Amino acid sequence: MIKNSRIANMSNRKITARKKFSFRPWHFVFILMGTIIFLFRSYVKISPDKIEYGYSRPIYPYIADILSLPGQWIHSPYSASQLFLSLAFFAALVWFCYNFYVSYKKKIVLRLLLETMVHGIAIVAGVYFFFLTTWGVNYLRQPFFISLNQEAPTTLDRFDYEQLGYDMVFLLNTLHKPEIFPADIHDLWETDYAVDRALTKVIAMISPPQTPCFPQTKFLFGNEFLNACGISGFFLPVFMEPHINSDLLLWERPFVMAHEKAHFMGFASETDANFIAYLACLISESEFLRYSGALNALLALRHYIPLKKWQKLIQKNLAQSVQEDISARDERIRRNRKRYARVSDLSHKINDTYLKLNNQKLGIKSYQAALPHLTVWWKKNPPEFPLTKTDIF
C-alpha cells in the first residue's frame, strides 16, 4: 500500500507539473508585438523622407533622452548597459539552473526545456520590438548626404580622391605635435566634450540639434572580447550608450567616439555615422580631433587610390611620426587578428549579415562608403590652407 501510494504521489506531481506549464499572456503579447513589427518592417513601405520627418527628427530625440538617463547616472567609464545585461543574464542563468535541478529531481526536464524555449522566443520578439521602435527604425531614414543637400558621389574621379589624400597628408604633417595629445590615456572627459561640440556643429548643418545631452563614452569590462571580434566601438540602444575599445591608440579614439555618438543621434547607417564622424573631427576646433579625422580619412583612401600610389603618398610625403602612428595601429590589428582569427572572421560575417538585414546592402563595406561623401563635401568646402600640386601622384 505504501509503495502504491508513493507511485501515485509521484504520478500526481508529474501531472501537476505538466498542468502548470501553459502559454502565458505575456508570451502572447511579446510574440504578437514582435510579429507585428516584423511584418511592418518587411512589407510596409514608407519613404525615407517620411521616416526622417515623421520619426527620426520629431520623435526619436525624446526617446533617446529618456532612455539615456541610467547611462548618465552611471559615470564613465562604467557602462549601465553592461551592468543591466550582465545582471539579466546572471538572473536568467540562476533561474534556469534552479529549475533544471528541480525538474531533474521530478524527471520533467523536457518540460523545462520547452518552457525555456517559449520564454526565449517571447523575449527575443519583445527585444526586437523594443529595438525597432526605440532606435532601429532609423535604419530607414533619409541618408545624411541628402539631408545635407549634397549630390551623390557619382561624378568623382580618381584625381578627387588623390587630391583628398594630398590634403590629408598636408593636414597631418601640420598637426602632428606632442602637445595636442591628451596627457592621460584614461582621461576621456576633454575629448568627449570636444566630440560633443563638433557633432553639434555637424548636425546644425541640417537642422537645429534636438538632442539635449550627449551620453558619455564608456568602456567595457572584459575589453579583450572587442579585440577578439575586431571591434573598435559599438552603440547599445538599451541605455543609449556609446562604447569604445580601451586598447585603441589615442589618435584613434575621437573618430570612433564621434561615430558611436552619431548612432546615438539617430543615424543608424554605418555610412552616415562614418560620414558624420569625418565631418565632426575635421571641422572641430580641437587639433587632436582634426588629426584623428584626417588620419582615419587617409587610411580609408586605401580603397579608393591604387595601392602603389597610396604607398608612395605615405612613404614619400607623410611625416615619420605619422607613419609610426599608422604602423602602431596596423600592428595592433595584426596582433589581434593573429590571436583571434576564427572569432574575428565569425564576427565580421555576423556583422555583415546584420547590416544587410537592416537596409545596408553593402554590408560591412558600408563603413567604406562614407569616404566618397566626404570627398564631395571636401570639394565644395575647400580648406583654408594653401595647396600646390606636386608630383606626388
Give the Cα-Cα-Cα angle 186, 169, 337 (nearest 5 degrees).
50
Position 17 scores a pLDDT of 45
Q: Return d(Cα 229, Cα 180) in angstroms, integer.
A: 30
User: Which residues, 6+ apart, have CB-to-CB distance to 60 below 8 Å?
Assistant: 135, 137, 138, 266
Residue 31, φ and ψ in degrees, nearest 5:
-65, -40
Read off the amino acid at residue 256: V
Cell of 33: 508585438
Highest mean pLDDT, choosing among 110-119, 293-302, 380-389: 293-302
Grouping H, G, I as helix, E, B as strand and the rest as coil, residue 218 is: strand
- The residue that leads in pLDDT, 99 or 130, is 130
Q: What pairing do the DSSP bridges indicate for beta strands 241-244 and 233-236?
A: antiparallel
- The C-alpha atoms of residue 92 and residue 109 are separated, in whole angstroms, by 17
Going from the C-alpha of 72 to that of each of 69, 245, 321, the distances in angstroms are: 5, 19, 37
Peptide bond into 77 cis (omega under 30): yes
What average pLDDT does this structure show over 357-380?
A: 94
Mean pLDDT of 272-299: 95
Instruction: Name residues whose C-beta falls within 8 Å of residue 47's C-beta, 6 or more positions apart in sequence.
Output: none
CB 229 within 8 A of CB 241: no
Q: 206 phi and psi, to 5 degrees?
A: -110, -30
> What's CA 110's distance to the chain center, in Å?
38
C-alpha cell at 279: 565631418
Instruction: With beta carbons less than 8 A apart as the criterion, state whether 239 and 67 touch.
Output: yes
- What's the start-to-end Cα distance of the chain, in Å? 98
Burial of 132 (0-12, 13-18, 19+ CB in 10 A): buried
Q: How many CA atoms lie within 13 A of 392 on its CB side?
A: 25
On whether the CB atoms of residues 253 and 292 are closer than 8 A, the answer is yes
Task: Quickly count helices (H) and strands (E) in the chain.
Answer: 18, 2
Mean pLDDT on 316-329: 94
Question: Is pLDDT of 114 > 90?
Answer: no
Q: Where do runs of H (alpha helix) occur along 135-234? A: 144-147, 158-175, 189-203, 224-229
Look over the chain and give the mean of its residue pLDDT values, rounded to a whole number: 88
Fill in the DSSP letter of residue 182.
-
Contacts of 140 (CB under 8 A, 6+ apart): 46, 48, 51, 359
DSSP percent split of the chain into helix, strand, coil, nearest 5: 70, 0, 30
Q: Are 226 and 82 within 8 A, CB to CB?
A: no
How would residue 318 be classed by pLDDT, with cut points 50, 70 and 90?
very high
CA distance 303 to 334: 18
Please determine, for residue 15, whether its predicted confidence score (pLDDT) is greater than 50. no
Q: What is the mean pLDDT of residues 273-277?
A: 97
Q: What is the pLDDT of residue 86?
A: 93
Contact 375, 160 (CB under 8 A): yes
**Helix 270-282, helix 189-203: angle, nearest 10:** 110
Give the model confidence (pLDDT) of 121-163 as tens digits: 999 999 999 999 999 999 999 999 999 999 999 989 989 999 9
For the stretch 61-96, pLDDT in tens is 999 999 999 998 988 888 999 999 999 999 999 998
State the cell numbers at 205: 548643418
Q: CA–CA separation, 195 vs 371, rounded Å?
A: 20
* Residue in 271, 148, 146 with CA at minimum distance from that of residue 207: 148
